[in-house]
Structure 1
Amino acid sequence: MHYNDSDRAREVAERANDLLEEVVLPIERERAGGMAVSSGTITELREAAREYDVYAPQIPEEYGGMGLSFRDSLPAFEEAGRSLLGQVAMRVDAPDEGNMHLLELAGDELQKEAYLEPLVAGEITSGFSMTEPMQGAGSDPKMIQTTAEKREAQGASERSGIAAEKDGDEWVIDGHKWWTTQGVEADILIVLARTDPEAHPYEGCSLFLVPADADGVEVIRDVPHMGGGNRGASHAEIRYETVRVPDEHLLGELNQGFTHAQERLGPARLTHCMRYSGMAQRSLDIAKAYVSERQGFDSTLSDKQSLRHRIADAETKLHMARTGIRDAADRIAAGDDARVPVSMCKVYTANATQDAIDLAVQCCGANGIGKDLPLSDFYESVRQFRIVDGADEVHRRVIARAAFEDVPTEELEPLTRFGDPNRERSTDH
């Protein structure tokens, strides 16, 4: 299928495809079976991505990226999604990718120098710390319990961060978070906390840059989770107890944390969609290759009509997903927040990619659940997509709310006429 991608977007995607085929997939195959990938291998992959000129395509050149527009970078994200290692190689892996975007949008120059540039370079890692245990923030982020209170600063030796040596006000953060992706290994945590308890949470929360080694930050555990042993990131439970950060660690505007978080989540949901569509397409490619070779009941499996129709349905849904993602990205590029189109893309793509990968596993039978092929890892990874970055139900709620706005009640006028007892009866039959 061909889409209305720019020439530059197609060129970068082609180079990303070359990187995957010539470097990433051979390394992935060498490590079949869930073998851990060393930091040295990750460095090797990222050096290769730079050589192929596909490293951090979505980040401005001044911070170490390629400077592609958000829309132009999406096809490269899809190519990266064909392997769990491809995303890491090209520095388009979550959650760092979304956090880099947030720092680019909301960070000041000092914050960008201290955290954005090292993140892009792969020198540090990050976590986005919003979700809380019951009864705290989750699918309903308004339930947030974590607080940040502004106080007079104590001695510089008791603080950490980009302004630790300065005198002035600081923020004291208290709260309990979990499911902070990459929180165990993160160097910097972006924490959402209430800063105005009297205001509605949407107007009384702020974001803070919290060094992971700050006093009072306690990583309790990596929450055991599906796919946790398959090169996946940690999902940390973290307690923040009287964590002091200087005022300079406020990210963006005071009390605008939800606004900034939405600026991060909208594009991040689309990049997630593209990565998973690439994963689903590779899964189907593996399945088609397998059933074209596998003999059963006097012919290849690819000759069975029911299987061919299921593959056709999966390809159709992936095409619709890709088309919708590009439409939503075009709207964002035009200045629209595109909240409803993004929600539509998120819920549709999450289910379409899950179905495609599930079908691929089924097509390959025992080899689908084995670890010689990447399908098993993909299967464990894709199930979380219907929960992370907004569960299906949350996005359907957004879509339904918009669908019921300005309902055209005039369409019911014929029914109300028949129910009017004062209406003159017609003698016509």
Structure 2
Amino acid sequence: MNRAQVADEVIAIGDSLIRFVEREVVPLEDANKALLASDRTIFDENGFYVKEVAALRHTIRMRSAEQGFYTMFGPEEIGGGGLGPVAAVYLNALLAETTGPGRVLVHPVVVPSPFTNGLSPVLTALGEDQRERFLPGLASGDKTLCFALSEPDAGSDVFGMKSRAVRDGDDWILTGTKQWITNGPYADYVMVFAVTDPELAAQRKGGITGFLVETASAGFSVVSTIPVMGHLGAEIGILSFDGVRVPDAQRLGAEGQGLKVAMNGVNTGRLGLSATCIGLARWALNQALDYAKVRKTFGKPISDHQAVQILLAESALDIYSAETMLMDCASKLELGIRSIAETSMVKLHCTEAANRVFDRCIQVHGAMGLTNELRLEEGYRFTRSMRIPDGTSEIQRRTIARELLASGVNF
């Protein structure tokens, strides 16, 4: 990625981050090759990480936290490094480009999502006493978090939410089901959102409140993981809240204002996701370029064939345009400029462009591109799946259109 807009100190952090992976992660990968070789050994029969893999991920989280990488995107007010959108874009892209897809001890273990795990901005809504109770474990990497908003009937349409929280003295009684929750099957704490005022929620005027729930609470259970895109296990899952009692002290922000709380930091989260996709796309293009120079057909390298050159050139176009959009949007957000349309454009374009790049790079490799060994297929599956979370491509297009109609062409 172009470093022109990236501060020297952020570049230095990136260099240190890659050295950390080489020093701490690679030796563990090498020592556990058989365990990490395929989904058959990574996951158990129910689709959960086996305890050995979970322990390795815990070790990496703790070591990353010790070096300051795990918390570097967290808000300073809750003990994070406070790195902004430009740093998030650069560092997520760098990590993805350097390591490539399908490494379960890297993504998202070394650096968690800046929005849904670790020192999430959502946690700034906690009171001081609750911060003292929950944040140290999250900051150390010992404990993990998940963000539970989506439900079987409430994804893009959040007001379709059926989860309910009813006041009972100084507590709330929480009942409902959450689905598609990243890290849900493994989290120690859940940032969960439920309807507390059905009338306001029915009018789409609020009425949703956030809570921080301990997964050890009575009534909480993990229903299952949700394997996707051919995998045998998953980080995402279905969570059940059956009369879970939550102290009001663990409420996230004001009653009925949960959606405002939930959206705190969503822009940086979307940019981080987009940057990861484009970093992976760069990795894929590098693989395709190397292969095209050595693979020969009809007596010459396939890089000499115009059809292959077009695939490479179009991939470069997708990557360069996506990176330019990413940095422009990140720079605006860093300056506090309202960038709703731009953020939606970035999330939409980066995820779709990265998926196109992987498709082309697989094509450059021919049959070899389909093999598990090269990991191109894993990158294809990942980038395809990223067109769904944090707002589907269709929702992003709707947001862009609404912003255009309301504010004109002002991006």
1:87 paired residue number: 107
Q: Separation in 2 of the partners of 1:236 and 1:21?
A: 31
Q: 1:126 aligns with which of 142, 145, 155?
A: 145
- The residue type paired with residue 101 of structure 1 is S
Return 19-28 or 366-375, whichever deviates more: 19-28
1:204 paired residue number: 207
Q: CA deviation at 1:173?
A: 1.2
Alignment of 1:98-247 (within 5 A): 100-133=119-152, 136-152=153-169, 169-199=170-200, 200-226=203-229, 228-229=231-232, 232-233=234-235, 235-247=236-248
For structure 2, the residue ranges without an aligned partner over 5 or more in a row are: 43-51
Q: Separation in 2 of the partners of 1:179 and 1:226?
A: 14
Q: CA deviation at 1:47?
A: 6.0
Q: CA deviation at 1:4?
A: 0.9
Return 19-28 or 241-250, whichever deviates more: 19-28
CA contact (8 A) 2:114 2:120 kept: no
Q: Separation in 2 of the partners of 1:407 and 1:2?
A: 31
CA contact (8 A) 2:115 2:121 kept: no
Q: CA deviation at 1:44?
A: 4.9
- The residue type paired with residue 250 of structure 1 is R
Q: CA deviation at 1:94?
A: 7.2
Is 1:394 aligned to 2:395, yes or no?
yes
RMSD between superposed Cα atoms in Å: 2.7
CA contact (8 A) 1:63 1:117 kept: no
Q: Please, what TM-score do these two structures have when normalized by structure 1?
A: 0.82
1:157 paired residue number: none
Q: Separation in 2 of the partners of 1:195 and 1:262?
A: 18
Is 1:284 aligned to 2:294, yes or no?
no
CA contact (8 A) 2:362 2:376 kept: yes
- Taking only the aligned residue pairs, the percentage that are identical comes to 28
Alignment of 1:28-47 (within 5 A): 30=33, 31-34=36-39, 36=42, 38-46=53-61
- The count of corresponding residues between Structure 1 and Structure 2 is 387
Q: Secondary structure at the match of 1:220?
A: strand
Q: 1:207 to 1:87 in 2, by over 3 A?
A: same
CA contact (8 A) 2:180 2:238 kept: yes
Q: 1:285 to 1:47 in 2, by over 3 A?
A: farther
Q: Secondary structure at the match of 1:183?
A: coil
Q: CA deviation at 1:236?
A: 1.7
Q: Separation in 1 of the partners of 2:63 and 2:85?
A: 22
Q: Separation in 2 of the partners of 1:51 and 1:117?
A: 12
Q: CA deviation at 1:75?
A: 1.2
Q: Separation in 2 of the partners of 1:334 and 1:112?
A: 28
Q: Separation in 1 of the partners of 2:121 and 2:230?
A: 26
Q: Separation in 2 of the partners of 1:176 and 1:4?
A: 43
Q: Separation in 2 of the partners of 1:117 and 1:296?
A: 58
Q: Secondary structure at the match of 1:175?
A: strand
2:332 paired residue number: 331
- The residue type paired with residue 216 of structure 1 is G
Q: Deviations over 1:340-388 (max 9, x none)?
A: 1110000000100111112222222333222222222222211111101
Q: Separation in 2 of the partners of 1:80 and 1:145?
A: 38
2:83 paired residue number: 68
